[in-house]
Amino acid sequence: MTRVSSANPHRPDPVLTVDTAFFWAAADEGRFVAQQCGGCATLWHPPRPVCPKCLSLEKHAHDLSGRGVVMSWIMPVHPPAHGFDTPPIVALVEVEEGLRFVTSIEGIDPRAMKNGLAVEVAFARTKGGHQVPIFVPVEDE
Amino acid sequence: MVNPGSEACIVGIGQTEFSRESGRSEQQLCAEAILAACADAGLSPKDIDGALTFDLDNSDEVDLMRNLGTPEMKYSMRTPQGGAGSVTTLVHAKKAVESGLCDVMVIWRAMNERSQYRFGQPHTMVNPKGMSSTFMEWCMPYGAQTPAAWEALSATPYLERYGVTSEDLGRISVLFRQNAATNPAAWFYGKPITLEDHQKSRWIVPPHLKLLDCCQESDGGVAIIVTRRDRARDLRQVPARLLGAEYAFLFNHEIISDFYEGDLAELANSVRVKERLTAAAGISPAQTNVAMIYDNFTPQVLRQLEAFGFCGPGEGKHYVADGHMNLDGKTPLSPNGGLIGEAYIHGMNNITEGVRQLRGTAANQVKAVETVFMCSGVAGAIIGR
């Protein structure tokens, strides 16, 4: 069961573009994906119309494990981030597959935030009813 | 190798006052800065036949010509990549005049970036060009909406790997403000700060960026005139020879949102620029007498110091603390006060200061300047007498 956060009801909607709409459409369905090249199977993020490795135009969405590690994190407090009632924790997460994503971290006290934190994907509702991938700390098992 | 007479030189510099509300149009600021640069050089606007600005600038060559009576352009173009492109303008101008695309090229940047719009405020409108992927798309829904946020996200791995503290960053800001305090053209003229002031300034992007780690938002215009050395001989100023000007941009990197490739503690583009620039100019950045290093935010100064070879990885904070960048140090840093202390005209006011230092006419003049290094991340230049 994938968690969906409504902690920031005014969170900006994703900007849908021709080359990236598949990513956000998958997120709306609760799937966390990356572009995979149909020619050489390399994963890319951010998405792009051509595979820079083999130059293939073939591509599809590939489901990611959803597990990763925080590489960098910040908390923009001033000026207040548009669409957030309280300052968000913004992070750069490197997922198991080696790709990096700018994202939010929820479910943690900012004082406990640190690089190297193990996280897993969740989703957050946006102002216009979309949902975007975010990350939460991995629960101790 | 160009023949000596064809070598590009900066022969004119001009600027308006730097303020928070210019009270006039950006087009007028552009024209005023260019007129000042022409007067400085001993040229007429009628002599200009090449025009170059940022793709973000709101004035163009049409405006320039109809305001200043310039009869004919042979070449005009724009540089991308915002402030990181500021020193890139010199790369283009050098090649343009040395190859004969034009004879007298004017570079300008003029903006009411404080009174008319605010660069530092959250970007809330995203209109991707051609509906293709844009870096904003990946940042906006998560709350990374300002240059300070993008910069902090990319700088954090560097700062944490080398244990750079807020005090370490504060010392850079104190140095810029100390230099600005004795530069009458600086917005922060007469307003030095202490390390305590820096520490007490409000958080902008914790855990690393405070208010006094950020540059200003400024209104103002800057212009620079580049021509060939044989023509420069007849002009008013001692020419600033462009010994080298190089640009490098590497696969899968981005500008301020440079999150996706390689080790984030290194500036791979800058390392490449240093290699090419050292080969082109015949001396390395660290061998020059003054360093004008793009300072949109304090961490960027440390990362560039290391990438351009002034010191080793992680040594930047000690290099600054040991006084090597002070006005009486080994390579004084931005004696005008930089973008943090003088003004933020998107990096271009650091180029005019470099030229003044070489001429010996700066407010905070460094002694016996033979060469000056200027850089903005993806580009670097060395000028010499």
As a whole number, mean pLDDT of residues B1-19 equals 92
B160-218 per-position pLDDT tens digit: 999 999 999 999 999 999 999 999 999 999 999 999 999 999 999 999 999 999 999 99
Q: Does B262 touch chain A (CB under 8 A)?
A: no
Q: Does B208 touch chain A (CB under 8 A)?
A: yes
Residue B239, min C-alpha distance to chain A (Å): 44
Q: Does B162 touch chain A (CB under 8 A)?
A: no
B209-253 per-position pLDDT tens digit: 999 999 999 999 999 999 999 999 899 999 999 999 999 999 999
pLDDT given for residue B120 in this prediction: 84
Residue A107, min C-alpha distance to chain B (Å): 15
Of A12, A45, A79, the CB nearest to B141: A12
Nearest Cα residue to B118 out of B21, B260, B10: B21
Residues 6+ apart with CB under 8 A from B118: B217
What's the CATH class of domain B4-116+216-384?
alpha beta
Beta carbons of B132 and A18 less than 8 Å apart:
yes
Taking CA atoms, B282 is separated from A43, B312, B365, B371, B384, in Å, by 42, 21, 25, 11, 11
Beta carbons of B206 and A75 less than 8 Å apart:
yes
| pTM: predicted TM-score of the whole model, two decimal places | 0.96
pLDDT given for residue B379 in this prediction: 98
User: Is residue B31 scored above 90 in pLDDT?
Assistant: yes
**Cβ-Cβ contacts under 8 Å, B204 against chain A:** 76-78
B315-359 per-position pLDDT tens digit: 999 999 999 999 999 999 999 999 999 999 999 999 999 999 999
pLDDT given for residue B126 in this prediction: 63
Range name among B109-118, B131-140, B298-307 with the lowest pLDDT average: B131-140
Of B122, B154, B264, the CB nearest to A81: B122
B338-350 per-position pLDDT tens digit: 999 999 999 999 9
As a whole number, mean pLDDT of residues B269-292 equals 98
| Sheet of B240-247, strands arranged across | B75-79, B50-54, B104-112, B219-228, B8-15, B240-247, B379-384, B371-375, B290-293
Beta carbons of A76 and B136 less than 8 Å apart:
no
Cis preceding-peptide flag for A46 (omega within 30 of 0): yes
pLDDT given for residue A2 in this prediction: 60
- The sign one gets for the Cα dihedral A37, A43, A49, A51 is negative
Beta carbons of B133 and A81 less than 8 Å apart:
no
Beta carbons of B260 and A12 less than 8 Å apart:
no
Q: Where are the domains of chain A?
A: 4-137
Nearest Cα residue to B12 out of B237, B331, B299: B237
Separation CA A106–CA B259 (nearest Å): 21
Of B149, B252, B260, the CB nearest to A74: B149
Q: Where are the domains of chain B?
A: 4-116+216-384
Instruction: Specify whether the CB–CB gap between A70 and A138 falls below 8 A.
Output: no
pLDDT averaged over every residue in chain A:
94
Instruction: Specify whether the CB–CB gap between B63 and B32 falls below 8 A.
Output: no
A23-64 per-position pLDDT tens digit: 999 999 999 999 999 999 999 999 999 999 999 999 999 999
User: Is residue B136 scored above 50 in pLDDT?
Assistant: yes
Q: Residues of B with catalytic annotation?
A: 294, 344
- The sign one gets for the Cα dihedral B197, B203, B208, B212 is negative
**Cβ-Cβ contacts under 8 Å, A12 against chain B:** 124, 140-141
A94 → chain B, closest CA residue:
B260
